[in-house]
Homo-oligomer: A and B are copies of this chain.
């Protein structure tokens, strides 16, 4: 339903009954601090195969402070010859193709790798890593390269090992809904495949058209279905992983339950390719339920958003499948920059907007349930105005607004992106604090997965600069840490936040992570400079 290109939005006016178009309370509210900036630089999400201009930007990260580790060898022609002997045309030396793989999709992080390898099998990955480990050649594993923290591109001259050539679906168990596939499968392709079988992927995110399932697992991607189906730690049943020394670790079980020894697969879920390269996956896919309803609502204040979440959990219970919130800055931005998108609630402007999705097995019952919940929420004063999508096109438009915020953000110029887990009651405080700190220098957007306590804080400015960054960091991390929040809810640490881990993890935990890293990758060849601080390795 989501991600359809430029849906024609048909507004639900005219023929509404009392439930379809809700009572409207005029309450024009403006941004509290300063006017919007409005500068234009295009950097949209790109497809995996679409080359883009390479830019050098290492801003907003610790990259500038990290020196190349001299323990790593430098690539030579013998190395390339060896790789050619095992991979054939899977060795890419073409400058343009390497340039694309050297830079992240935001154009924020750029490496200087001279070699891109495209293995087609686990054995080939094993041979690559075994060789690199012996030769001490550093490696960056790369999936769809849609990450937001510089985790999937080289920092210096690491060899890029792309999983894009391993994109086969291996099997699908229709009785139990268990998909087994290679790591390079694009999430959207998997979604389409399992939906044709009557199931859905347990995760969905804006980058689905480019991101790989292997990357999703390596970064423990969260996304839009988390509130319903939970974490990948609960949904991934098995993995095949190649370790730093080339050892193939076969944990590719398709069992729902298996308590035989330590459940090692969890080490690789979210470790951002620093402990091993995920090559195959088996994942539990929930049954596709026939009835989906989407509502787009406005609230007058953040407290109402919180109360609405609590009420939705209680009253929509088992059919609630998304609860996303956006402040009005997000809506303004989306209207300005996303083609063909219309505000479903144009009559007035509210401070907050909420998207609620339900998914269930009974069309009529689910719709009635959602409608009566929303009516009650309006009577209780939690919802100011709202519409329920009457068809897939309207639903698609609602989702396009929420999913398009990230894309619209990068059109402004520079965007400082933070992805925070904060107890729901304090989640919006940081947005307001940041807005007051930055004044007219930047536009501050708050949105995200309210149902999971996950805020996306985007700070838009005309260009990246040190003064703005100094206003943001370390304040944003210190404040989050003081709330016992997480400085990375779902994006990971990558290069951007490797040195910031102590804001969310204790010294003892970081020390144990480092010990495990050194145990499993003693030459530290896998995704160097990322995830963990250099000082502990």
Contacts and interface: CB of A to CB of B under 8 A. Distances in A.
Interface string A304-347: 00100010011111110000000000000000000000000000
A264 B317 contact: no
Nearest to A531: B261
Contact of A486 (B219, B260, B271, B520): B260
A254 interface: yes
A250 interface: yes
Nearest to A252: B484
Interface stretch (A8-16, A388-396, A501-509): A501-509
Interface stretch (A95-103, A113-121, A231-239): A231-239
A80 interface: no
Interface string A480-523: 00001111111111000100010111101110110111011000
Contacts of A361: 314-318
Interface residues of A, number: 91
Contacts of A234: 230-231, 233-235
Contacts of A532: 261
A509 B261 CA distance: 9
A209 interface: no
Contact of A509 (B250, B315, B365, B452): B250
A491 to B, nearest CB: 7
B263 A270 contact: yes
Contact of A365 (B359, B365, B505): B365
Contacts of A454: 256-257
Contacts of A264: 509, 512-513
Q: Which of A219, A231, A487 has the most CB of B within 10 A?
A: A231
A235 B229 CA distance: 11
A397 B60 CA distance: 62
Interface string A234-258: 1100000001000111110111111
Contacts of A380: none
B263 A486 contact: no
A44 B513 CA distance: 43
A75 interface: no
Given A247-B508, A361-B318, A506-B250, A424 B176 contact: yes
A356 to B, nearest CB: 15
Nearest to A365: B365
A295 B259 CA distance: 30
A49 B131 CA distance: 58
Nearest to A319: B318
Given A176-B424, A424-B176, A509-B249, A260 B317 contact: no
Nearest to A248: B508
A425 interface: yes
Contacts of A519: 515-516, 519
A531 B263 CA distance: 12
Interface string A295-308: 00000000000100
A220 B263 contact: yes
Nearest to A362: B369
Top-5 shortest CB links A-B = A234-B234, A266-B266, A317-B361, A258-B486, A257-B489
5 contacts: A230-B235, A254-B423, A263-B270, A264-B509, A515-B519
